[in-house]
Amino acid sequence: MKVAMFLNGDCEDLGSVDLAEYDLIIAVDGGAKRLLSAGVVPDMFVGDGDSLEESDLDKLKSLGCEVFLFPKEKDEIDTELALRKAVERGAESVDIFCWMGDRLDMLLALMYLMGSFDVQITAKSEQLIVGVVSSEAELEANVNEKWSIVPIAGDAEGVTLRGFKYEITRKNMPCDHPYGISNVAVSSKVRIAVERGKVAYFRWLKEPS
């Protein structure tokens, strides 16, 4: 099952998402406002409601959306709870939208969450695609795209990169020496493999400023 998840971050590219590709649409807290304003009713709402009005929750329920409302004081962020629900429902892959913004702490937490579930989780926008690799992945690319590959949650060992200008074979990537920044794709397919640990990849669809 393929899941689309909408957070409460920047979402200028919402209209470009083809929702017909997805089996389940999940709104994470304030992401529900963005979907409703675009005329989209999510299949599921997950969050503590701190970015919504009571009327928004009532509207979601009246439109047939399944609502999972959690306490505001909790140990998990709403995105983690939503990912758990997606996995419970049988998600094989999750695409996360409306995730960019000023909260760098939330972005870092998202990176860790993406690498902690045994399903493919990708954060997407019109400018950037982010994912986590803990074993091996072959990914789509465009020639001359800028990519960065960095270790997360500890050092990454035995990293192999193929299809890039700067290729490596079974080389270690320590967290305190992030040399994988600003690589360049030279093929329509790239390969990232890790023997131990995890790396995050950043595929820049549009050249960053």
Q: Given this model, what pLDDT does residue 181 score?
A: 96
Tell me how many domains the chain contains: 2
Question: What DSSP line would sit under 74-121, residue for residue?
Answer: -SS-HHHHHHHHHHHTT-SEEEEES-BSS-HHHHHHHHHHHTSSSSEE
Write the DSSP symbol of residue 176. Answer: T
Q: Print the domain residue range for 80.
A: 2-125
> What is the model's pLDDT at position 10?
85
Helix (H), strand (E) at residue 170: strand 168-173
Same domain, 110 and 136: no
CATH number for the domain spanning 158: value is: 2.60.120.320
pTM: 0.92
* Span 166-192, pLDDT tens digits: 999 999 999 999 999 999 999 999 999
Predicted pLDDT at 53: 85
Q: Is 119 in the same domain as 172? A: no
Confidence of residue 49 (pLDDT cuts 50, 70, 90): confident
Phi-psi region of 90 (alpha: psi -120 to 50; beta: other; left: phi over 0): left
* Predicted pLDDT at 130: 96
pLDDT of 153: 87
Is there a domain that residue 209 lies in?
no
Q: 142 and 79 in one domain?
A: no
Clarify whether residues 87 and 139 are in a common domain.
no
